[in-house]
Amino acid sequence: MTSTDYLLLILGMGLVTYLPRWIPLFFLTRRKLPSKIIDWLDLIPAAILSALLIPALVTGGEPLQFTLFRPHLWVAVPTFLFAWWTRSLGGTVVLGMFLFWIVEKIMV
Amino acid sequence: MKEDVNKNDFGIFSILNKGFWEAWPICLGYIPIGIAFGVLAQKAGLTPMEIGLMSLIVFAGSSQFIAVSMISAGASMGAIIMTTFAVNLRHLLMSSSLSVFLKEVSRLKLTLFAYGVTDESFAVNYVRFKEGGWDPDSALVVNHLPNLTWIAATIMGGYGGQFIPAGAFGIDYALIAMFICLLVFQLKAWKYVLTAILSGTLAVILSLALPGNWYIVLASVIAATIVVMIVKKSGEENADDID
């Protein structure tokens, strides 16, 4: 990938990221969305976060396969419980990394 | 004249102070993730300047991770941009929800505010606005202080990347841990739990069945649509947080 290609790539990424952030703020500050759309959009964050997270925990390998035996899944259990009790983003990230690091060390 | 300046300085200081106390946990969370991103990006062949430029122009953690893995896999520019769009489309909801609290704000400031809307700043600002006693300027600090931290951390990772062996300090797990906690923040009622279970299950099946990253958006859209229909059909008029 050349420098020009890379610049075009991040400008494109920036534009498609910025517009969904900007359009509702710019145009909806004096309007309200239909309640059906709001109900649907309200579920999207939980849906997307789960769709990003769960495959990372239970799939792996080349070619990609379903597996319950990766440390990613085991470490997720105490990490989830810690997040549930403390509601601390910084703490959860640090704990998750630490536990994963320990488990990887033990397994190697 | 001099008094005015001092008064303004004090006002800005007070806003920065208020915003800082809400923003610091986000900044703390961004440091390991930003460094992890910088390390991965450096290993994918990007220079620290290219990494910083992406963080500055895009500023969206998960899509930056995905973009870097797609760059390493040799994906086309169009595929990366489409995936970024799909992954970040969720900000449409967050900005829509926040717009309720920003009616008096000038459009110039809204344009600046939009740039810093993330899962984390949205979660913090939304709760603060609902509680009352929160102002758009402090919210702007919550949007942009983590942004500066993110840019700096990713560049640091880019420089340090060559000294850090792959997998050190559990950096590979930073993003997964962040997703776990952000998902926990979302599980406020049973309909969100149901959505998460459905979307996660669909995502696993679709990721095994389909090439690329389309499973993220497909699973999310299908799961949210099904749960909205179930909630509507069961006639539960939920007293949502959103209204």
- The ipTM value here is 0.85
B160 and B141 belong to one structural domain: yes
Count how many domains chain B has: 2
B162 and B205 belong to one structural domain: no
**Which residue in B54, B58, B121, B240 has the most chain A C-beta atoms within 10 A of its own C-beta, making it the best mutation to test that interface?**
B58
Cβ contact, residue pair B113, A18, below 8 Å: no
| Per-residue pLDDT tens over the stretch B144-160 | 999 999 999 999 999 98
* Element holding B67 (H helix, E strand): helix B61-72
Cβ contact, residue pair A40, B197, below 8 Å: no
B77 and B194 belong to one structural domain: no
B181 and B191 belong to one structural domain: no
B56 and B79 belong to one structural domain: yes
B84 and B198 belong to one structural domain: no
Count how many domains chain A has: 1
Cβ contact, residue pair B62, A42, below 8 Å: no
Is the pLDDT confidence value at A7 over 80? yes
* Chain centre to alpha carbon of residue B75: 23
What b/e string do you get for B61-90 counting C-beta neighbours within 10 Å, with b at 16 or more? bbbbbbbbebbeeebebeebbbbbbbbbbb
B39 and B77 belong to one structural domain: yes
pLDDT of residue B209: 93
Cβ contact, residue pair A54, B200, below 8 Å: yes
Cβ contact, residue pair B167, A104, below 8 Å: yes
Q: Which one of B169, B186, B203 terminates a domain? A: B186
For chain B, positions 61-100, list CB contacts with chain A under 8 A.
62-63, 67, 71, 77, 80-81, 84-85, 87-100
Three-class secondary structure of residue A59 per DSSP: strand
Cis peptide before B136 (omega within 30 of 0): no
Could you say which of A44, A64, A79 has the minimum Cβ distance to residue B90? Answer: A44
B171 and B239 belong to one structural domain: no
Q: Which residues pair with A60 in a beta bridge?
A: A65
Domain hosting A14: range is: 1-31
pLDDT of residue B26: 83
Domain hosting B101: range is: 2-186
| pLDDT beneath 70: ranges in chain B | 1-10, 161-162, 164-168, 235-243
Please indicate, yes or no, whether the overall pTM of this predicted structure exceeds 0.90. Answer: no
B124 and B165 belong to one structural domain: yes
For A48, which residue in chain B has the nearest alpha carbon? B220
List all residues 6 or more positions away from B192 whose beta carbon is below 8 Å from its beta carbon. Answer: A43, A46, B186
CB half-sphere exposure, A74, CA atoms < 13 A: 10
Could you say which of B174, B192, B241 has the minimum Cβ distance to residue A97? Answer: B174
